[in-house]
Every structure is written in C-alpha cells, then in structure tokens.
Amino acid sequence: QAHSGATVMADRRDALLGASMLVVYARELANRFDGVLHTAVGKLDVYPNSPVVVPSEVKLLLDLRCSDEAVLAKANELLRAKIEEISAEARVEITSELSHEWGINPYQPEGVELARAAASDLGLSNDEILTVAGHDSINMKEIVPTVMLFVPSVEGISHNEGEFTSEADMLAGLATLTEVVRRLAHGSLS
C-alpha cells in the first residue's frame, strides 16, 4: 500500500482500481447478455480503508446468475479473461475463489403442482415464474419436494427499500402458504 499524497500515480498498485474495473465489467457482462444474465457485486471490503492510503487489498463478492447454463459458462469464460486483462492494466494481483455454485435444477413438479392447486382452489390467480433466486430452497429441494411462493410487489420491486406489497396480496400469499402446509400435514406428498 502507499500514501495517497506522497506516492506518484505511476508507482501505485491500487487494489481498489482493479476491483472497480471488475465491478464495471460485471455490469458490462450483464449488458452483453441483456435480460438473461444477472450480475452484482454485493460486498466490497477495502483494506486499510483509510482516506490517505492507496488500498493494498480489496475483497469482493461478484455474483453471476443465469437460467441458461451455456450463457453462464460463456460469462465465466469472459470474466476469467477480463480478470487477466485488469490485473495487467491495473498492475495488481487478482485471485478468484468460487464460493458456491448451483446448476440449473428445477423444483420437483409435485411441489409446484401442490402450490398451484392450493392457490387455484382458493380462487387465487397464479403462474409459474422462472427465478434465479434460491434462498434456503436450493438446499432443501435435494431432500424434499420444494417450491418457492412469491407474492406480487408493486412495480416488481423486490429486496429494496422501495418494495411494497399490498395487504391483500400478503394475505393471499399467507392463505396459499397455509393451504400448502395444511395439505402437506394431511399427506398430499409422501
């Protein structure tokens, strides 16, 4: 690391510069596979995180999600190549570590059908949606039939302080969940 005032620009090895280039490239990847690939950098830890020091280390979590495994493989390939370019251009060492990975593995049809039937029998509209969200269901669906239930949010905004779901939609979601659990308790799935 170096002092931000005393070290000339040409002599710096700015880890945050390299990390910032990766953040921008993640968005460029998403734009390249528009509407198909989801990317995010949801965590960035800068060391020493001082206003007068050029960062010597940055750890970040770069998330790639896609329902098309071929697109995901291509995005990973492009990312690996870009990491080498950024490393050379920013004059920093970049190491990557895969923290977790899931292939495309749909929910079991019996769990999906149970939820669909419960909502329909309650007179509620419903539809299957493709999601690249996983939550705990990613781990559980390997053990038992699993389904994720979603309720509509105004303008589709989710996981954001602007998220709003009407009371009627929340109650409909609760009724559906209650009916699914009731049916499970009565042996609808073995």
Bridge partner list, 64: 39
The mean pLDDT of the chain is 92
Where does a domain end: 23, 56, 90? 90
Q: How confident is the model at residue 19 (pLDDT cuts 50, 70, 90)?
A: very high
Q: What is the pLDDT of residues 95-128, one digit of tens each?
A: 999 887 777 778 888 889 999 999 999 999 999 8
Instruction: Give the β-pairing of 57-66 and 2-3.
Output: unpaired
Alpha carbon 98 to chain centroid, angstroms: 14
Distance CA 29, CA 37 (A): 8
Confidence band of 134 (pLDDT split at 50, 70, 90): low
Q: Answer yes or no: is pLDDT of 47 > 90.
A: yes
77 with 145, same domain? no
Examine residue 130 and state whether it is found in any structural domain, yes or no. Answer: yes
pLDDT tier, 138 (very low <50, low <70, confident <90, very high otherwise): confident
Long-range contact set of residues 147-153: C-beta below 8 Å, sequence gap at least 24: 147/107, 147/111, 147/112, 147/114, 147/115, 147/180, 148/107, 149/115, 149/173, 149/176, 149/177, 149/180
pLDDT of residue 151: 94
**In the structure encoding, which two tokens stand for residue 77, read together?**
């390939």
Q: Is residue 100 part of a domain?
A: no
In this predicted structure, what is the pLDDT of residue 184? 92
Domain count along the chain: 2
pLDDT band at 27 (very low <50, low <70, confident <90, very high): very high
Evaluate whether residue 60 is within a structural domain: yes
Residue 126 inside a domain? The answer is yes
Q: What is the pLDDT of residues 56-102, one digit of tens each?
A: 999 999 999 998 999 999 999 999 999 999 999 999 999 999 887 77
What percentage of the chain reaches a pLDDT higher than 70?
99
Whether residue 68 is contained in a domain is answered as yes
β-pair partners for 3: 53
| 67 shares a domain with 9 | yes
Domain around 133: 109-185
What is the CATH number for 179? 1.10.150.900
135, pLDDT greater than 80: no
Q: Beta-strand (E) ranges in 24-164?
A: 37-47, 53-54, 57-66
Pair (82, 116) in one structural domain:
no
The reply to whether 179 and 116 lie within a common domain is: yes
Q: Are residues 20 and 72 both part of a single domain? A: yes
Same domain for 71 and 137, yes or no, is: no
**Least confidently predicted of 45-54, 134-143, 165-174, 181-190:** 134-143
124 lies in the same domain as 71: no
The reply to whether 148 falls in a domain is yes
* Residue at a domain's end among 55, 90, 125: 90
Work out the average pLDDT over 135-151. 82
**pTM to 2 decimal places:** 0.74
Q: Are residues 75 and 118 in the same domain?
A: no
Residue 81: CATH number of its domain: 3.30.70.360
User: Within 10 Å of residue 142's Cβ, how many Cβ atoms?
Assistant: 9
